[in-house]
Chain A
């Protein structure tokens, strides 16, 4: 059985676009069309509002927590073309505002903490910018024309020790890689070389806008995995042993547009949210097949058995 652990009444005045828990699952950040970002403490099933952050002048699409070793840090992106980085310094304050995009910023993601404090932002202007913290200042790198018409999602490749990385001939530790999805129906893989980002791969299989991409956490064998979802109603899991050839596996063709894909902390289980009001959980069995193990929806359902089966 699955039960509802918390219900958080966020008090947002308009639609919530994203809700993210911090690293420990103790705090919740939400953002909404009411232009605000809110932070809640969740303790023993109760909630308290810690901060109501106002700084954006348009709907806020996404929020993301940085690794706690950098302090309590949150990034948000909005239709107002801005990316704001907030930090808890006694009170929650805006510590940086990034104004490098000409259109709505749709997605933000912090790099794996091993690389330092680095944020990637994908925008409707088609570009991806990368903000690198240097103590008190932030440097910017930019991938212009990453996706024609717009970039909808960004996701970082986990930091993998070069020994696992067959193409890793560099001696300077793990390579930074980024996956992006866009309105050109493509998923692209980018790799940092020197201070430039080069397009390492272009994954073609979707037939409509790619809505979300998610890099699976690295556990075990040196196989990289990436999930993408699209308005073509498909979820594709891409795998590769060398980051150069990628094998797509269509996880499923759904009844409606798929908006989000999310990997569980240790990989293995993928949560898929679609326009049909369902969030379903998928896992790969020992035979390499993807099966739906559980599903959350608004219709009638039966509550039987929630074992996560390996077979």
Chain B
């Protein structure tokens, strides 16, 4: 937008001229920089890699509350957007909530600032300035864009805004008034400053009360001043008369005041006379009093109050321009306020991005205005780009938060509400989050599942599974593999269980394996493992019949891995030799078939004779038993 923006430049220390540097992106918000030596240099090479990261003030613990609470308001606004009907009053409430979060943040910063040491103080004071200015601009935007001003006469709201943000002189006035000392002008050196301050803010009741405490309060000039102030017409939309009617009345009052000034009615006191000139709308006096104001818009409010009290929003721009130009106001907040008064939202958004708050203000404000239907931004070709702008600011903000260890969930909630790019970005960023504890991984998985990113769930579970494998936690690895629904990986882990059993004769994680349930179907190898485990379970509680039938079904299942045949066959021996006949003759034939097909394993060679003998003996017993049963 503005071609004159000069890019920020950052120095890398100790890089001599002949070095060449290279940078590449590291993560969502970091850049790695390293140096290359130019050819023919004889100097010693410095093999350092620098990793840079932008300083994000929102990551400071003091601002954590602001980030989290404003996230709540943002999410609540997203819900309103889908509600039909007049949502303006609701949105105004939300705007106020944002501001109260800002006020709370400012107050807590002031608290901490008072207590802390000087080295931290500087950055805290910087935060204070930033958020103070944001609140001030936000308040004005709320008045002009979010709130509905009755009759479109904006002065009352503007004065309120000014009084709210520049309370110091009114506080002095209240302090003086509280003492009720006659001759307050003699007692308090800042008496007149307080009177002028109140006059500039249009607090006429305070001005009158202060003048009544003046040592010459009984003098006709002061009595006349009191009368002038008391009779000054103040426009009120509910006052019962039209703007024209009011203007006639006000002009008449002003004319009378001018004639009194011309007849030198207030000459007894210079300050009094100056104040009366201000009230009569004299431009020069306004500028003389500018020393008693802290910002150009304070002066603007005074000018409107005494020269065009019925000013409507479209006329505001001209007045604002005149005053701010003469004031030479140039802070980002000055420019933003001027742009707000000029109804140039495009410029407002540009200016508030310079405020150093990492996009917090721009994202939340633009979202609010968008919800209000007030965001109409055209690009240079007069094409409306409000949707894109709205999304891009929220994307950036969400993106920024995703770069933080614990604020990433908050960041994700912003990305989810960006219809065009949000989910694609979330997908990339979710995968790049360092995993850490299981609780953290589950949080990442929850967000991925909620947004139907199944392949991310799969990939994260797989990574966790691999990690557990590396740590030798097979049970954990299996649980992750099942969550990943990756049958190849599940097979691999089931294999590891069986191999360990083959080597050490012990099954790990029995409780997990015995309770696999339906998950057992994830892979053939796991089915085998689960069933084999069940066989052990039955055997150990003495259910030999059950155990034997499981064993036979495993033998005929064709699921047995090659290295496991010798174990299965060996497991059959004690069952064959049991006191009761457990295995039927047909079971025995199966066993013989299996030992023919798979009994050639070296590990089984010393058992093969025993096995054949056991089968033969069992077959004999089984046949005679079965023969008897047939006879009966």
Contacts and interface: CB of A to CB of B under 8 A. Distances in A.
Interface of A: 1-17, 19-21, 23-26, 28, 30, 32, 42, 67-69, 71, 113-114, 217-221, 259-260, 262-266, 269, 271, 273, 275, 277-281, 285-287, 291-311
A305 B28 CA distance: 19
Nearest to B51: A6
A3 B463 contact: no
A21 B8 contact: no
A5 B30 contact: yes
Interface stretch (B174-182, B195-203, B432-440): B432-440
B71 interface: no
B353 interface: yes
12 contacts: A4-B12, A16-B34, A20-B32, A28-B32, A42-B51, A265-B429, A266-B428, A273-B21, A295-B10, A296-B21, A301-B8, A301-B9
A181 B389 CA distance: 34
B389 A294 contact: no
Interface string B135-165: 0000000000000000000000000000000
A291 B9 contact: no
A19 B356 contact: no
A13 B45 CA distance: 8
Nearest to B332: A305
A310 B393 contact: yes
B76 interface: no
B350 A297 contact: no
B625 interface: no
A-B pairs with lowest CB-CB distance, top 7: A301-B9, A279-B23, A220-B421, A25-B27, A298-B15, A262-B24, A219-B424
Interface residues of B, number: 75
B568 to A, nearest CB: 26
Contacts of B389: 286, 310-311
A286 B353 CA distance: 15
B459 interface: yes
A21 B429 contact: no
Contact of A266 (B9, B23, B429, B434): B429
A28 B392 CA distance: 31
Nearest to B379: A287
B23 A296 contact: yes
A279 B22 contact: yes
Contacts of A221: 420-421
B47 interface: yes
Main secondary structure on chain B at its contact with chain A? Answer: mixed
B350 A309 contact: yes
Given A271-B25, A296-B33, A286 B379 contact: yes
Given A265-B428, A301-B9, A28 B379 contact: no
B326 interface: no
Contacts of A10: 47-49
B392 A310 contact: yes
Given A2-B53, A69-B462, A306-B55, A293 B8 contact: yes
A9 B51 contact: no
Contact of B28 (A264, A273, A302): A264
A287 B1 contact: yes
B22 A259 contact: yes
Contacts of A12: 45, 47
A291 to B, nearest CB: 7
Contact of A25 (B8, B428, B434): B434
A9 B47 contact: yes
Interface in B7-41: 7-12, 15-17, 19-37
A217 B29 CA distance: 15
Nearest to A9: B48
Contact of A26 (B346, B393, B434): B434
Contacts, number: 240
B133 to A, nearest CB: 14
Given A16-B49, A277-B15, A279-B22, A311 B7 contact: no
B359 interface: yes
Contacts of B55: 1-3, 306
Interface string B388-425: 11001100100100000000000000000000110011
B31, B36, B385: residue with the most chain A Cβ atoms closer than 10 Å = B31
Contact of A17 (B15, B32, B36): B36
Contacts of A308: 359, 396
A243 B21 CA distance: 33
Nearest to B387: A286
A218 B434 contact: no
B466 interface: yes
Contacts of B425: 219-220, 266
Nearest to A270: B25
A7 B34 CA distance: 10
B8 A285 contact: no
Contacts of A28: 32, 49, 51
Contacts of A24: 27, 432-435
A284 to B, nearest CB: 10
Given A265-B28, A297-B11, 14 more contacts: A2-B52, A21-B27, A32-B47, A219-B425, A220-B424, A264-B28, A265-B432, A269-B25, A287-B379, A296-B9, A296-B33, A296-B52, A303-B8, A306-B55
Nearest to A217: B428
B52 A298 contact: no
B365 interface: no
B31 A271 contact: yes
A305 B47 contact: no
B431 interface: yes
B485 to A, nearest CB: 13
